[in-house]
Amino acid sequence: MRGLVSKPVIGGAILLHCWIFLCCPIHSALLAQETSNPCADAERQAALDNSSGTWFAIGCLTGLTGWLISVIIDPNAPASPLVGKSPEYVAAYSDCYRHKAKDIRSRNALVGCIVSTGVIAVAYTVLLIAATSDETYNTW
């Protein structure tokens, strides 16, 4: 019963186990990378790329025009996260990025527009009250 399994078979089995042990984590990482959620990735990137303060300021300074600009202009997704991805992933990522970025931009520009309109309305009201008051002020 000596030599039921030859040395080449044992060596081959060891090589096969080593190959499976080394290659399976790499294959699993590639599969996990491809099956990740493109919309979640795109929304996270859109939130990082689009400054809410910038679009708030644009809304404050330009009013309704700034909001219209934020609605009309389509943002483009960055290319670096899409390298090596499937066409379906790229399409889903681009659509989700565009929608999320446009939402962030338009919402903050509209809030800026409303805030600046409120500030201007309060300023005009104060000026109107001051101009129509009966008291006269002496200026020296």
* The pLDDT value given to residue 31: 44
* The pLDDT value given to residue 130: 85
Q: Over the stretch 22-39, which tens digit does the pLDDT of each residue have?
A: 554 444 444 445 458 999
Q: Over the stretch 90-100, which tens digit does the pLDDT of each residue have?
A: 999 999 999 99
* The pLDDT value given to residue 20: 52
Work out the number of other CB atoms within 10 angstroms of the CB of residue 14. 10
Residue length of the chain: 140
**CA dist., res. 65 & res. 68, Å (int):** 5
What value does the mean pLDDT take over residues 121-140?
A: 81
Task: Tell me how far the alpha carbon of residue 41 is from its chain's centroid.
Answer: 8
**CA dist., res. 87 & res. 90, Å (int):** 5
* The pLDDT value given to residue 36: 81
Question: Is residue 78 a contact partner of residue 133, using CB atoms and an 8 Å limit?
Answer: no
